[in-house]
Structure 1
Amino acid sequence: MATRGRPGPRRTLSEDELLAAALELLDSEGQLSIRGIAAKVGVAPNAVYTYFPDKSAVIRALVEKLLGESDTGAFTDETKPWRDRIEALALGVRERLVAHPSAAGLLMSAPMDGPRTTALNERLLDVLIGAGLDPADAARATYLLIVYVLGAIALEVADETDPGPLPPEEDRITRRRATFDQIPAEIFPRSAAAAPTMARFISTDQYLWGLRRLLDGLE
C-alpha cells in the first residue's frame, strides 16, 4: 500500500495554483497524480501534501471549484424568472465541463458535499421553493436536475477519447452523423430514420430540450 508523504515545510504555493495545475494535467494526460501536479508547478510531491493530504482531496477540491464557479451570473440574479436562472446554471456547468472533459468523470465519482457545492445546492433549493414547490419536492427536483445535467454531460464527453477541450460541437455532430448513417435501414428502420436527430444528442439544443421538458414537469 502506498504511503502518504510527509507535509512540506513551507506553504509557498496557493491551492488555486495547484488546482489549476491539476486541471492542466487532466487536460493533457486525462488523469491525476500528486507527482504529476508537483511536476507541473515545479515542486516536490511533499509540497503538494502540505495542501492536500491525498489525491481524493484534490478531486474533492476540483469538484468544488468547477461547480462553485457556476454559482454566478444569471443564476444568482433574483430579478430573472426561475426557469431562466436554472437554465443559466445548467449551461454554465456544461460549459465548464466541456472545457475539461476529463474532469467530468470526477463529478460522477466524488462527493459533492463541500461548502461551495452545498451553497450552490442551497441556492437551487431556494429558487425551486420560490417557484412554488414545497421543500420536499424542491429537494427531489434538485436531485433530478443534478442527475440530468451531469448524466447528459457525461454521455457527451464519453464520445471523446482524447483529453483536453472537446472539438467544436458541429464537428462532433458531423462525425456522429457519419456513424449513424451506417445503421442498416432494412434491419433497424426507425433508428436509421432517426439518425439525423440522434447525431445531435450531444448538441446544446438537445441539452436544453431535455432540461426544458424537466422544468415543464416541475412547473
Structure 2
Amino acid sequence: MAEHGEAAAGAATGAAAGGAAARGRGRPGRRRVLSEAEILDAALGLLGEKGAEAVSVRGIAAAVGVAPNAVYTYFPDRAALVGALVERILGELDRAAFADPGRPWRYRVHAVAAQLRERLMARPGAVDLLLFGPMDGPNALALGETLLEILAEAGLTTEDAARASYLLIVQVLGFVALEAAEVDRAAPVPSEAERVAARAAALRAVPAEAYPRTAASAGTVARYVTGEQFRWGLDRVLDGLVAGRSVK
C-alpha cells in the first residue's frame, strides 16, 4: 500500500514537472532587441567582407540573428536599405574639411573628392551602392548643396554650378568604380603601390610590336589607380570649368 502511494506521488510530481516544462516551451522567449543602427552596422560589415551583392535583407537578418521580418520592420525592401546605407556612408564624410569658406574653392573641391574616394575605397563594394542607389537623403543633399556653394564661389552661374556639380560627382564615382573593379571586394584592398606593381606586370605582357603606344606609355597607364592620377583628372575638369564659365 505504501509502495502504491509512493508511486502515485511520483507520478503526480512527474506530471507537474512535465506540465511546467510544457508551459515553458509554449511561452514565447525574450525577443531580440534590434535597432536601425545595428542593421546598418551589419550591412556595412557584409559590404566590407563580401561586397554589395551580399547586402540583402536575409543576409543581414542572418548576421544579427533575427528573422527577416525583423529587418522589414525598419526597411520595407532592399531599396530602402540601400538608400539608408548610402546616407550612412556619406554621413562619414568630414564636412568641416571642405565646408570652410576661408579655404580656396579648388582646395575645397579636392577635399570633397579625396574624402569620397577614400571612404568608398575603404569598402570597394560601396561604389556600387552610390552608382545604383538613391542619393536623395539629407546627407546627399547637404553634400550637393556644399558643392553648389563652392562652385558659386568659383564664379559659375547657378545653371553652370548645377551642371558642374553633377560632372564632378560623375568624375569621382567613375574613377572609383574603375579603381574598385580591379580589387577583390571581399578582401582587404592592396596598397596603392601593390596595385600599381600588379598593373605594371600585366602591361609588360602586352606585345610592343602590336601596341607600341600602349607599351611606350605603360608606366603612366600602370599609375591610373593612384591619387596622382585622380588629382590630375580632377584638375583638368576644374580647369575646363573655369575656362568655360559663363558671366553671371
Q: State the partner residue of 2:121.
A: 98
Residues 1:37 and 1:15: Cα distance change in structure 2 (over 3 Å): same
Letter in 2 for 1:89: V
Q: State the partner residue of 2:10.
A: none
TM-score (norm 1): 0.91
Contact 2:123 2:185 in 1 (8 A): no
Structure 2: give runs of 5+ residues left out of the alignment.
Answer: 1-30, 243-248
> Where do 1:16-95 residues align within 5 Å?
16-30=37-51, 31-70=54-93, 72-95=95-118
Q: What's the offset of the Cα at 1:161?
A: 3.1
Letter in 2 for 1:69: E
Comparing 23-32 and 69-78, the one that deviates more: 69-78
Q: What's the offset of the Cα at 1:71?
A: 5.2
Q: What's the offset of the Cα at 1:107?
A: 1.1
Distance 2:35 2:106 in 1: 37
Q: What's the offset of the Cα at 1:11?
A: 9.3
**Count of residue pairs the alignment pairs up:** 210
Q: What's the offset of the Cα at 1:164?
A: 4.0
SS of residue in 1 equivalent to 2:109: helix
Which residue of the other structure, out of 159, 167, 175, is the alignment partner of 2:182? Answer: 159
Residue-by-residue CA offset, 1:147-175 (whole Å, 9 max, x unaligned): 00000000000012342441111101100
> Where do 1:1-219 residues align within 5 Å?
12-30=33-51, 31-70=54-93, 72-219=95-242
Q: Higher helix proportion, which one?
A: 2
Contact 2:40 2:85 in 1 (8 A): yes
Which has more radius of gyration? 2
Contact 1:68 1:120 in 2 (8 A): no
Residue-by-residue CA offset, 1:36-68 (whole Å, 9 max, x unaligned): 111222222111111111111111111112123
Q: What's the offset of the Cα at 1:217?
A: 1.6
Residues 1:188 and 1:82: Cα distance change in structure 2 (over 3 Å): same
- What is the identity percentage for the equivalent residue pairs of Structure 1 and Structure 2? 56
Residues 1:11 and 1:148: Cα distance change in structure 2 (over 3 Å): farther
Contact 2:197 2:222 in 1 (8 A): yes
Contact 1:101 1:165 in 2 (8 A): no
Structure 1: give runs of 5+ residues left out of the alignment.
Answer: 1-9
Distance 1:208 1:79 in 2: 21
SS of residue in 2 equivalent to 1:101: coil
Contact 2:49 2:187 in 1 (8 A): yes
Letter in 2 for 1:203: T
Letter in 2 for 1:117: A
Distance 2:101 2:188 in 1: 32
Comparing 121-130 and 150-159, the one that deviates more: 121-130
User: What is the root-mean-square deviation of aligned Cα atoms in Å?
Assistant: 1.5
TM-score (norm 2): 0.81
